[in-house]
Amino acid sequence: MITLLDGFVDEPSCLGVPPYISPYVRYIAGAIRDAGEKYEYITIEEWRKGRKIKGDVLVILAGAVVPGRYLRGMPISFREFQEICKNFKGIKILVGSAARYGFRRGGGKSFIDGGRYVDYSVKKDGDAFLYELLNGEPVDRLRTKTEWRRWSVLGAEIAKQHPDYPQPLIAEIETYRGCVRWFTGGCSFCIEPLFRRPLFRDEDEIIKEVKALVAAGVVNFRIGGQSCFFSYKAKGIGESECPMPNVDAIKRLLESISKMQPKVLHIDNVNPSIVANWEEKSREITH
């Protein structure tokens, strides 16, 4: 069995600190199910309270790259990560931005590399890596759009194992990866432009994922998994750093999710320069 230990992620375009459950957790669960394997899910807060790790393969999801103050759970520290790795005798896999950039030390200090404490430190998508590993060969790669669609639905059930389920759990929903400013290099400190041209999920894929989460009993949602929500499927991408908001696509998405009558539906991450350049279009979205 595989144990997925959620060390909580907090990235500029993805939140997974309780009461939020990150999409990465769900994609990993979906990839494991797709490969025909079983998993248990445990959060770092549960581990702190003494819950034992039962699996023979341990996947640690970690990566708080944004300084934050949290009320319901603290992301895994480097010291905790070391302790867990030292005591676990099976295969250890580190995924998430802690694998990509290292563990954050805080206060503007440099990142610490955790790679030497694990068997695999996955730089691309943890879900795709696990799927490959469980099928015989470890390959560090990004998930395809088809996998994204499949795993986001297959993994929805893991939400039931979250300590905050059903309330006050909030499922973070991702609409795309990358940044519309990639072709000029974007902001110097940011990694999103490295994904090159943004890869958008289609509305129906996102809606299917939300439906699967609703069927699993999730009632609260945040559409926060993107660098700018108003740039979702925007027009003029690759020509302007401020492409025109696609009001129809955004409306379709929000209206379809609203029809499922979530208790909470909110959005996060809108680039102010898009609002400033497209005032009327932005108003249409918020009306």
* Minimum separation from the CB atom of position 186 to ligand SF4 (A): 3
Per the structure block, which two tokens stand in for 84?
């867990």
Q: For residues 108 and 128, what is the distance between their CA atoms, to the nearest angstrom?
A: 31
Q: Are 160 and 213 in contact (CB under 8 A)?
A: no
Q: Which of 29, 122, 133, 179 binds ligand SF4 (CB under 6 A)?
A: 179
- Tell me the per-residue interface mask from 257 to 276 with ligand SF4, x by CB under 6 A, - otherwise: --------------x-----
Our finding on whether 65 is near ligand SF4 (CB under 6 A) is: no
Q: Which stretch binds ligand SF4 (CB under 6 A): 66-74, 98-106, 186-194, 197-205?
A: 186-194
Our finding on whether 281 is near ligand SF4 (CB under 6 A) is: no
Our finding on whether 192 is near ligand SF4 (CB under 6 A) is: yes
Q: For residues 59 and 279, what is the distance between their CA atoms, to the nearest angstrom?
A: 44
- Tell me the per-residue interface mask from 125 to 164 with ligand SF4, x by CB under 6 A, - otherwise: ----------------------------------------
Q: Are 179 and 229 in contact (CB under 8 A)?
A: no
- CA dist 232 → 179, 196, 203, 245, 250 (Å): 10, 15, 10, 7, 7
Our finding on whether 190 is near ligand SF4 (CB under 6 A) is: yes
Our finding on whether 193 is near ligand SF4 (CB under 6 A) is: yes
Site for ligand SF4 in 210-229 (CB under 6 A): 227
Looking at this protein, which amino acid is placed at residue 252?
R
DSSP assignment of 92-113 equals EEEESHHHHH-B--STTPPPB-
Q: Which of 181, 222, 233, 281 binds ligand SF4 (CB under 6 A)?
A: 181
Q: What 3-state DSSP class applies to 234?
A: coil
**For 196, how many CA atoms within 13 A lie in the half-sphere containing its CB?**
1
Q: Which residue has the tokens 């909580």?
A: 8
Give whichever of 97 and 271 is closer to ligand SF4, judged by the CB atom: 271
* Minimum separation from the CB atom of position 194 to ligand SF4 (A): 10
Q: Are 26 and 39 in contact (CB under 8 A)?
A: no
* Minimum separation from the CB atom of position 101 to ligand SF4 (A): 14
Question: In this chain, which residue has its C-beta nearest to ligand SF4?
Answer: 186
Residues 6+ apart with CB under 8 A from 203: 249, 252, 253, 256
Q: Which of 155, 186, 224, 225 binds ligand SF4 (CB under 6 A)?
A: 186
- Tell me the per-residue interface mask from 69 to 88 with ligand SF4, x by CB under 6 A, - otherwise: --------------------
Give whichever of 151 and 182 is closer to ligand SF4, judged by the CB atom: 182
Q: Are 71 and 35 in contact (CB under 8 A)?
A: no
* Minimum separation from the CB atom of position 125 to ligand SF4 (A): 18
Residues 6+ apart with CB under 8 A from 190: 12, 179
Q: Which stretch binds ligand SF4 (CB under 6 A): 29-37, 70-78, 185-193, 212-220?
A: 185-193
Looking at this protein, which amino acid is placed at residue 281?
K
DSSP state of 237: B
Q: Which stretch binds ligand SF4 (CB under 6 A): 48-56, 156-164, 184-192, 256-264?
A: 184-192
Site of interaction with ligand SF4 (CB under 6 A): 179, 181, 186-187, 190, 192-193, 227, 271
